[in-house]
Structure 1
Amino acid sequence: MTAPPRPAITLLLADDHAILRETLRESLEAEPDLSVVAEAGDGATALAEAARLAPDLVLLDLEMPGPPASVTVRRLLDLRPRPRIVILSMYDDPGYAQELLTLGVNGYLSKGVGRRRLVSVIREVVEDEARVLLSYAPAERAARPGRLSQRERELLSLVARAHSNRQIASGLGISEATVKRHLQNIYLKLDAASRMDAVNKAVAGSLIPSPLARPR
């Protein structure tokens, strides 16, 4: 007996450029598991539509008429059910990205991101809200591989062995919230798009041992 199909991921597109919204809608709705349920050209409309429709994820532009993006983010996160939020920005500002991540957004992407990467990010943050995804233009990256702390390397080694956040927290004697914060920092430092991407980059840079390596 085949399993029933999973419901489509519902999206709200919030950007004050109508042409960009139209392009995004066409691109995203080409995917069978994605559905754009509403659009907004300003922060107030985005909040109203999110409250009315409860989308799974809001793609939010930083530069829109209405309240500052940080205010809009806080109000979106107060909604129940709470939507996931991915920022789409023209500006690759690591400091501002980190501020928004601290508020609780799930990702911060440059508007130059490719369609395949964007679709991948949407699916990953909806399936695993703890996963924070970042993408900066190469010239604007704030950190380079090789700057992981000892604790970050230790934690990422456990990720490489397919440990969950709960297992990592228990093994290291820290909270799951602390695990998530460490992962956010790791993604930022490695410019990683997911747990596996971070592991692959860390292994390639000899920052952690390969999970396939046999212990001596």
Structure 2
Amino acid sequence: MLVDDHAILRETLRESLNAEPGFEVVADVGDGSRAVAAARELRPDLVLLDIDMPGIPAALAVQRLCEVSPASRVVILSMYDSPGFVRDMLRLGVRGYLSKDVSRQHLVSVIRSAMSDDRAVLVSVPDPAALGAVAGTAEAEGPLSARERGLLDLVAKALSNRQIAGRLGITEGTVKRHLHNIFGKLGAVSRIDAVNKAQDAGLIAPAPVARRSGRDAADGRAKN
């Protein structure tokens, strides 16, 4: 799905990408709010997103896209390349951040890499060195995304699903979906098991975990 407020750019990208083997542009929209609505309905494999558009802020658009279509990869294509902003977008879990002056071949390569490698994060901006360690370590962040690790940090602090939802500005249903995905990635059977496995693997920092009753632990999968 293409998201950009310049119609002529969307038309050009649509024609170019539809000509690539294995690619199909399922929608193109002009602002973040419509992107979220379209993603909820279409669940695209990848969203190519500009961040300088009318409507909701870019960070909120990325968060809502991840919420309504968790399996969609988000790749930013923008003229805005402030290192601080790029770092913020990477921390939100985008799979790529590209300047609009990249070549068509490079864009296609990044899209294919984002779809074929669950851990790859690709950045192509004029001064990637200014990003510090973020771009260099993004590929090696492990089996959990930055968003999943942040959520699991809150689980480790014994916050309930409702408290986590309020802290992150998402719904309890979204928290449960994230936990389901985390359990599957870590082979965990409960919240405490997931926290322990993530801490043992160095994915999240050690933190005290509130004790739960035997019944709660046994029912962990059903409640989450």
Instruction: Name the CA distance, whole Å, in 2 between partners of 1:104 and 1:81.
Output: 11
Name the CA distance, whole Å, in 2 between partners of 1:58 and 1:177: 28
Question: Helix, strand or coil for the counterpart of 2:84?
Answer: helix
Deviation at 1:177, TM superposition (A): 7.2
Quote the Cα distance in structure 1 between the aligned partners of 2:66 and 2:110. 19
Task: Give structure 1 regions of 4+ aligned residues with deviation exceeding 3 angstroms.
Answer: 140-144, 173-178
Which of the numbers 70, 74, 96 marks the counterpart of 2:85?
A: 96
Name the residue aligned to 2:28: 39
Matched, 1:175 2:202: yes
* Counterpart position of 2:75: 86
Aligned to 2:53: 64
1:74 maps to 2:63 = yes
The letter of the residue matching 1:30 is A
Question: Which of the pair is proportionally richer in strand?
Answer: 1
Q: Which residue of 1 aligns with 2:98?
A: 109
Q: What's 2:42 paired with?
A: 53
Matched, 1:19 2:46: no
Q: Following the alignment from structure 2 to structure 1, what is the Cα–Cα distance between the partners of residues 14 and 70?
A: 23
Q: Which runs of 5+ in 2 are unaligned?
A: 144-199, 206-224
Query: Within 1, Cα distance between the matches of 2:203 and 2:75?
Result: 22
Aligned to 1:37, the other structure's residue is in SS state: coil
Where does residue 129 of structure 2 map in the other structure? 142
Deviates more, 1:54-63 or 1:91-100: 91-100
Q: Cα gap change, 1:68/1:33 in structure 2, threshold over 3 Å: closer, same or farther?
A: same
Query: Given the two structures, how large is their TM-score scaled by the length of structure 1?
Result: 0.61
Match of 1:28? 17
CA–CA distance in 2 between the matches of 1:15 and 1:114?
18
- Taking every aligned residue pair, what percent have the same amino acid on both sides? 53
SS in 2 for 1:78: helix
Task: Report the TM-score when normalising by structure 2.
Answer: 0.59
Give the partner amino acid of 1:15. D
Q: What residue is the counterpart of 1:125 in the other structure?
A: 114
CA RMSD, aligned part only?
2.8
Q: CA deviation at 1:126?
A: 1.2
**Which protein, 1 or 2, shows the higher relative CO under an 8 Å CA cutoff with sep ≥ 6?**
1
What is the distance in 1 between the residues matched to 2:9 and 2:204? 35
State the distance in 2 between where 1:60 and 1:135 align.
15
- Deviation string 1:125-162 (CA, Å, 9 cap, x unpaired) is 1122321100012xx34349xx88xxx89xx9xx9xxx
Give CA deviations for 1:162-214 in whole Å, capped at 9, x if unaligned. xxx57xxxxxx743579xxxxxxxxxxxxxxxxxxxxxxxxxxxxxxxxxxxx
